[in-house]
Structure 1
Amino acid sequence: MDHRSGSAETDVSLERLLSDLITAYHILHSHHVLDEHGQISVRNPRDPSTFFISSNPAILVASKSDLTQWHVADGSPVAEPYNGCDKIEEIPPSSEHYAHSSVYNMYPGVQSVIHSHCLSAIVYGLCNNWSSMLQPSYLLAGFLGSSPPIFDIARYYDSLPPSYPRNLLVNNEFLGEAMAKLFRNSDEVDMHMHNGQSNVQSNGLPDGLPDGLPDLPEQKVVFMRGHGYTTWAESIQDAVWRAIHIRRDADIQTSAMNQRSSTDLEVVYLSEREARDCERTINHCDPKHWLSWVIEAERSGRYRNDLKVRVSANPN
């Protein structure tokens, strides 16, 4: 069976995955990661050259009809999407699915991507530098590493037509690819920038950087100046976990900086070794974490997942 088609047949494992995707929208809304903007997507395990996403506000995502299916290679819509998903006839000019397709395309190991306009975190991408101000402030944020990179879209507009709207949206392949390439090691970017190699190539990076890319990004998050951030993981659950802890870490660092501003004390962040060991050992979504977030969203009465009811009624 071709799972890109709109057949009346269904794949229960894929249905469960899409049910988790819908629930992820609700969890991220509940935790103030997604508001009326932002998205979480998942790569299609039956056809990894495509992925699923919703452009609807998170609180409104409730069924497969709220989901769309896109090609990883170029961000084009799948002509005959999976059974029950919405068919895209024309790509809206404000669609930012390219922020997702480009990451999937460059890094085959990535299975889920989140683009967020989280207010707590957006402030840490507001500086004229390739690296952000956010630091790993507590044990559940070691995965951030030191100073995640910033995608400043203004550096890339000169490569677009003069009439192209400078509205900070990642709404074409070129901008998506430029952002996705910053998920490589930011130390390489910093080194070349500090050495005066500040010209941006057509591939979206400073002059002199190699083109080879790994199956998985080295950076876990890229901040987007005046916009938000993008993160990824190898599962929906871990992507949600990372996004929630990015928001929490930003809140902690902001509070710590405000409290210390009137004293001679300095904020002590995780050391490089501490951050690395936290990432390797405890920076992942335990099944109980996921279950607690699912129950919290369900019992709030604010969200509806029609697909979960159908999946639960067909356990085999």
Structure 2
Amino acid sequence: MADDFVDQTLSDLITAFHILHQHQVVDEHGEISVRHPRDPTTFFTSNVPAILVAAKSDLSQWHVADGSPVEDHHDGCLKMERAAPDMELYAHSSIYAMYPGVQSVIHSHCLSAIVYGLCNSWNSMLQPSYLMAGFLGSSPPIFDIASFYDYLPQSHPHNLLISNQFLGDALAEMLRKSHDDEMRLLDGPTDLPEQKVVFQRGHGYTTWAESIKDAVWRAIHVRRDADIQSAAMNQRESTDLEVVYLSEREARDCERTINRAEKKHWLAWSAEASRSGQYHNDLRDRLGPG
């Protein structure tokens, strides 16, 4: 028997894949996940390229605790025996496990943003460049997977994928560290991370939120901020002017007051995706827009 409440969440998840694809946040790689609204110990995602996600049968359900497939999965979802080799479930499951308040996670290979994680430093080069990017704070952290290879078997491929729980936990831990507190380790889960975005060297970035819609909003504005900063830095090279980013107070107040998805934003993005003719959502056809 269909559960329309859960199905509406899954419809939003399918739409989120389409919006993220249209906004060049995900392509044939990258994904969004959402915590099960009735069972927070599991989550849903897809290993299907975003433009092809169209129905519950393209979605799969996984355990938060260890990234294993849910045997008694939600009706209509794809039954999985194991994760595909390129399916980075632990980037999602470890964040959900460490931060019970997180409801949605996005991993992106966005080309505009990936360049800002190519630094030999703890912090990325990305700064909050405009009012919709205050949530970034003062340069998000960089997860450099090379720092963890020595803790893995010698046979483990150095392919930058978050392919086991050890690496997933290390990535999730980066979200609750600040630069001044780099070596601090906390015992047990904390409700929400301190950092909103973590870059992954040579790989992409991961962000999260307390809803699908806010996660999509953040992921889109990471890309937009990267585009703005790149343009500003290129322009700076031909002048004597300095690029002026948001102050700490401006970034904090923008995050507190306006850095979130309003209903009209979601409706506009959904309409753009629907009217483009590129995407199909079987659940939306049955349930209507979220």
**TM-score scaled by length of structure 2:** 0.97
List per-residue Cα deviations over 1:108-134 (Å, max 9, x = no partner).
000000000000000000011111000
User: Does the CA-based 8 Å contact 1:106-1:180 persist in structure 2?
Assistant: yes
Structure 2 partner of 1:183: 175
Q: Secondary structure at the match of 2:233?
A: helix
The 5 Å alignment of 1:21-40 reads 21-40=13-32
Q: CA deviation at 1:10?
A: 1.4
Amino acid at match of 2:149: Y
List per-residue Cα deviations over 1:186-241 (Å, max 9, x = no partner).
23444xxxxxxxxxxxxxxx4x5443552000100000000000000000000000
The answer to whether the aligner puts 1:244 opposite 2:220 as a matched pair is yes
The correspondence for 1:218, drawn from 176, 191, 194, is 194
The correspondence for 1:275, drawn from 251, 272, 275, is 251
Q: CA RMSD in A?
A: 1.4
User: Does the CA-based 8 Å contact 2:83-2:89 persist in structure 1?
Assistant: no
Give, in whole Å, the separation in 2 of the partners of 1:125 and 1:213. Answer: 26
Gaps of 5+ in 2: none
Structure 1 partner of 2:277: 301
Q: Secondary structure at the match of 2:83?
A: coil
Q: Secondary structure at the match of 1:56?
A: coil
The 5 Å alignment of 1:114-153 reads 114-153=106-145
Runs of 4 or more, structure 1, over 2 Å off, are 187-190, 208-214
Q: CA deviation at 1:297?
A: 0.2
Give, in whole Å, the separation in 1 of the partners of 2:62 and 2:98. Answer: 15
Q: CA deviation at 1:95?
A: 1.5
Give, in whole Å, the separation in 1 of the partners of 2:287 and 2:186. Answer: 46
User: Does the CA-based 8 Å contact 2:98-2:188 persist in structure 1?
Assistant: no
Amino acid at match of 2:171: M
Structure 1 partner of 2:158: 166
User: Does the CA-based 8 Å contact 1:131-1:186 persist in structure 2?
Assistant: no
**TM-score scaled by length of structure 1:** 0.89
Count of aligned pairs between the two proteins: 290
The correspondence for 2:89, drawn from 70, 89, 97, is 97
Give, in whole Å, the separation in 2 of the partners of 1:229 and 1:134. Answer: 12
Gaps of 5+ in 1: 1-8, 191-205
Give, in whole Å, the separation in 2 of the partners of 1:81 and 1:104. Answer: 18
Q: CA deviation at 1:91?
A: 2.2
Greater C-alpha radius of gyration: 1
